[in-house]
Amino acid sequence: MDATPIPRSVSAPTGPAALSPGSQRRARARRRNTLIPFLLPALLLFGGLVLLPILLGVYTSLFKWNGFGGMPTQFVGLDNFVRLLGDDVFIGDLKRGLVLVVLSVLVQLPVALGLALLLNQPLRFRGIYRLIFFAPYVLSEVITGVLFTMVLSPTSGLVNQIFEVFGVSGQAWLADPSRVLLTMFFVVSWKYFGFHMILYLAGRQDIPPELTEAAMMDGASTWQIFRSITLPLLGPTIRISVFLSTIGAIQLFDMVWVLTGGGPIHASETMAVTLFQYGFKRYEVGYASAISVTMFLISLVFALLYQRFVLRRDTEGAVTRAGDIR
Amino acid sequence: MISNALRRRSFLGLAGAAAGAALLPGCRKDGSSSSSKTIDWWHIQNTDPMLSVWAGLARDFEAAHPGVKVNITPLENEAFKAKLTTVTQAGNPPGLFHSWGGGVLEQQVAAGLVKEFSADASAFLSNVSQNGVKLYQLGGKQYGTPYELGMVGFWYNKELFAKAGVSATPKTWGELLGVVRQLKSASVVPIALAGGDKWPAHFYWSYLALRQGGVAGMAEAAKTGAFDGPNFVTAGAKLAELVALEPFQPGFLGAKYMANDGQSAIMGNGQAAMELMGQWAPTIEAAYSTDKKGIGDKLGFFPFPALEGGTGSPTEVLGGANGFAVGKNAPPETLEFVKFLLSPDSQRKAARGGVLPVAAGAEDAIDDPNLRLVHAALKSATGFQLYLDQAYPPAIGQQVNDSVAELVARSSTPEAVAQASPRLRRVSSPSVRH
C-alpha cells in the first residue's frame, strides 16, 4: 500500500497529502497515459460516426443541393430553415410527434406499469406471461410493420375479420386520415409496452419487501402502499422510461415507413419520414439536412432539459458531481 | 441501454444519412469496377418471368465473352430508387442500372455520373423505337437506352364488366363515369387504386391533362412552368368527378401497388373491375394474386377515353420507357452488354417475359393478345408523353404525386393541385434545366 501510491484515492484523505508534489504529477501523467489509449478508439468512432456527420449535416443544410456528385455549391444561408417553418407537412410532423409523445406517456406507460405490478404478484405461469408480453419487443420494427399491414388489411386482415363477427365490416385502419395516427400509436405501443414493462418489473423488484411489509403492518391500504412506496421508489425507472419513450417517438421511422409510408395525405408522417421523403425521393438533400438538423436539435434540447430538470436527482453523484468526487 | 444505443444508432443513421453520404466518395475512390471486367447490374424486374430472363441473358453474355462477369442485383422499385440515391450521392453508381430517362437521368447526367454513348456505340440504336430513344437524350447526346417502351391504359375484368351489364368499353370520360356507376350498382368495386403509393393516382390526373391540352399543351407547360393553367385545373376537376363517385376499393388510401392486398393483388384476384396502369399490369397482377396466375383470359385492355371538350386526341398516349443508363466507372464491355440486351434475339426473349420490346423485329414474340393491343396502340400513337413524375425533376414529380393524392383523398381542390407544382418550382427549381 505504501510503496505504490494509488492515483485515485478519494476515501483516504491522507493519501494525496502523503505524496510529494512531484509524485502527484507523475501519477497524473501516468493516469493520462493509460486513459488516452483506452479512449482513443471510442473517440475516433464517436468523432467519425457521430460528430462529423452532424457537422456535415449542419453544413449541407445551408445549401440548396440535390445530392448528386461532389460537395454542394449553392449557398442559401438559413433559407432551408425558413422554408421549414412555413412547411405545413413539417409543422404537422411536430403536432403528430407531440400527440405520439403525450399518448405514450399517458397511455402506453401506465399500461406497462400496471402489467409490471400485476406480473410481480405470485401468479401461476408468471414467467410465461412475462415472456409473451416481452416478445413483441424482440421483433424488429420492420417485421412488426409488415405483420400489422396484414393484420390491419381492409379486405383480408384479422382485425376486420373479428369485427365482422360483430357486424362491423370494411374498416380502414391505416387508410383513414383521421384514424391512422391512433392505429399507428396502437402498433407502436404493442411493440414497446413489453420493454417498459420489463423496466418497471426490474425497478419493482429492487424495492425492498421490508418497506411494504412494514407499511402493511401499520395498516396501509394497497392504494396507499402503491401511492407512497411503490410509485416514489419506481421514480428513477419511470423517469428513464419516459425519456426513452419520448426520444423514440421523436425519431419514429421504420414502423411508419413500412405501415403507411407516412400517408394517407401525410396523416401519419413523422419528422424522420419527411426527412427521408425529401432526401431520397425528391433529391432535395439540402432541405432534408435542414430537417435532420432540426430533429437533432429538438432531441438534444429535450435530452439536455430532461437531464437538467428531471433526471438530476437520479444521476446526481454519477454524472453531475463526478468531477468533484475525483 | 441496448435499446438506447440502437435508437441512437438509427437516429444517427438518419440524421447523418445525407451528410454521411458525402463521406463515402473518399472511401470508395479506388473504382474497383473500372479496372476489373465485372459489370454491376441493378435492375428492377425482381419477379419472374423477367428475373430469370435477365439472369439467363447475363449468363449467355458471360459465356460469349470470357473474362467478363455480370453481377446482378435485382431490386424492388422503391428500394432501387433509395439505394441508387445513396450510391450516386457517393459518386459511385453501378456499371449498369435501371433508368426511366427524364428528370432523374438529367440530374444524374449533370452530376457527371452517367457515361455518354459515343456515336459508334449508339449506332445500334437506329434499330430501336425512336419515341423511346429520345427519352434518354439530353442536349442531343445519348445517355441511356430503353429496352421497353410502354403506355398506361385501363386494364379491365371482362367477367365483372359482363356481370354489371357493361357491353362496350367506354370511349369518353363521360362514358367511363357511366360504367363506374353501373359497376357500383352491381356491387362490383369499379376501380382498384393504390392510393398509398401515390404514383398510380397521378396517372389519372396526367392523362386527363393530356386529353385536355394534348401533347402540345403539356410541352408548353413544361417549357413555361405554367402547371396552374386551365388544362391542369380542368384535369383536377374531372378527376374530382370520378372521385366523387367513390369508385375505389375500401381502404384504397392506404393501399400499395405491390402488396398482398394492394392494387395489383385486388385486380389479380378478380376483386375489382379495372385499374389504370402500364403495360406491366398483367405480370404484376399475376405475381401478387393469391393463385399466382391472375385473371388470365378475363383481362382486357382499353386506352384512356377521350375527354369531351379537350383538345388532346385519344391516340396520344401517356407512357414511359424502362431502360438502362451506364455508370461513369463502368468497364468498356458494358456497352457491348447493352447492345447484346437490345439485339432482336434478346428482345424476343424479354418479350416472352411480358416486356414490350423496342427493337424492330422483336414484336412477333409478344404472345399476350392484350400486350399486342398495347403495342399496336403505341405504334399508331400520334403523340407520346412521359409520366409526369418521371418527366420532371424529382422535386416537382413528387409534388405532383402528393397533390394528386390529396385530391383523391378529397382534402384538396383542383386549383390547389394545379398550383402546387409551380409553387414548388419557384421554391426549389433544380440547378439544371434543358
Judged against a pLDDT cut of 80, whether residue A324 lies above it is answered with no
d(CA A119, CA A125): 10
**B255 in contact with A, Cβ within 8 Å:** yes
Could you tell me if B376 and B362 are in contact, meaning their C-beta atoms sit under 8 angstroms apart?
no
What pLDDT, on the 0 to 100 scale, is given for residue B119?
73
**A52 in contact with B, Cβ within 8 Å:** yes
Residues within 8 A of A (CB atoms), B 73-92 only: 81-82, 85-86, 88-89, 91
Would you give the DSSP letter of residue B117? P
**A295 in contact with B, Cβ within 8 Å:** yes
For residues B265 and B278, state if they share a domain. Answer: yes
Could you tell me if B39 and B71 are in contact, meaning their C-beta atoms sit under 8 angstroms apart?
yes
Q: Number of A to B CB contacts under 8 A, please give it.
A: 185
Full residue range of the structural domain in which residue B335 is found: 30-150+319-381
Could you tell me if A238 and A290 are in contact, meaning their C-beta atoms sit under 8 angstroms apart?
no
B243-302 pLDDT, tens per residue? Answer: 999 999 988 888 889 888 889 999 999 999 999 999 889 888 988 998 888 898 899 999
Range list of β-strands (E), B104-157? 137-138, 141-142, 145-151, 153-157
Residues within 8 A of A (CB atoms), B 108-127 only: 108, 110-113
**B240 in contact with A, Cβ within 8 Å:** no
Residue in chain B closest to A147 (alpha carbons) equals B260
At B275, list the grid cell. 385499374
Q: Do B110 and A156 touch (CB under 8 A)?
A: no
A99-110 pLDDT, tens per residue? Answer: 999 999 999 999
Alpha-carbon torsion B85, A281, A140, B1, what sign?
Answer: positive
Give the number of domains in chain B: 2
Q: Do B196 and A177 touch (CB under 8 A)?
A: no
Confidence of residue A264 (pLDDT cuts 50, 70, 90): confident
Residue in chain B closest to A67 (alpha carbons) equals B89
A65 domain-assigned: no
d(CA B291, CA A92): 42
For residues B252 and B109, state if they share a domain. Answer: no
Alpha-carbon torsion A299, A300, A301, A302, what sign?
Answer: positive
B80-137 pLDDT, tens per residue? Answer: 888 888 887 777 889 999 998 888 888 888 888 898 887 766 777 888 888 888 889 8
B38-43 and B69-74 as β-strands: parallel, antiparallel, unpaired?
Answer: parallel
Residues within 8 A of B (CB atoms), A 218-247 only: 244, 247
What is the domain-level CATH number for residue B82?
A: 3.40.190.10
Average pLDDT score over residue span B47-75: 90
For residues A89 and A52, state if they share a domain. Answer: no
Give CA angle at A266 (B176, A87), nearest 5°: 120
Full residue range of the structural domain in which residue A35 is found: 14-60
Q: Do A150 and B249 touch (CB under 8 A)?
A: no
For residues B422 and B282, state if they share a domain. Answer: yes
**B14 in contact with A, Cβ within 8 Å:** yes
How many CB atoms neighbour CB B13 within 10 A? 13
Residue in chain A closest to B7 (alpha carbons) equals A248
Residue in the block written with cell 392505429: A183
Judged against a pLDDT cut of 80, whether residue A148 lies above it is answered with yes
A7 domain-assigned: no
User: B98: helix, coil or strand?
Assistant: strand
What is the domain-level CATH number for residue A238?
A: 1.10.3720.10
Q: Which amino acid is at A220?
A: A
Q: ipTM higher than 0.85?
A: no
Q: Which of B318, B326, B339, B352 lies closest to B141 in space, CA to CA? A: B326
For residues B253 and B217, state if they share a domain. Answer: yes
Residue in chain B closest to A199 (alpha carbons) equals B1
Could you tell me if B325 and B105 are in contact, meaning their C-beta atoms sit under 8 angstroms apart?
yes
Buried b (16+ CB within 10 A) or exposed e, B407-426: bbbeebebebbbbbbbebbe
Chain A residues in contact with B271 (beta carbon < 8 A): 155
For residues B194 and B219, state if they share a domain. Answer: yes
**A282 in contact with B, Cβ within 8 Å:** yes
Q: Do B261 and A154 touch (CB under 8 A)?
A: yes
For residues A31 and A112, state if they share a domain. Answer: no
**B250 in contact with A, Cβ within 8 Å:** yes
For residues B294 and B220, state if they share a domain. Answer: yes
A41 domain-assigned: yes
For residues A185 and A126, state if they share a domain. Answer: yes
For residues B230 and B286, state if they share a domain. Answer: yes
Burial of residue B195 (CB within 10 Å: 0-12, 13-18, 19+) is buried
d(CA A61, CA B197): 28
Buried b (16+ CB within 10 A) or exposed e, A83-120: bbeebebbebbeebbeebbebbbeebbeebbebbbebb
B159-206 pLDDT, tens per residue? Answer: 999 999 999 999 999 999 999 999 999 999 999 999 888 889 999 999
**B413 in contact with A, Cβ within 8 Å:** no
For residues B187 and B294, state if they share a domain. Answer: yes
Q: Which of B75, B78, B143 lies closest to B111 in space, CA to CA? A: B143
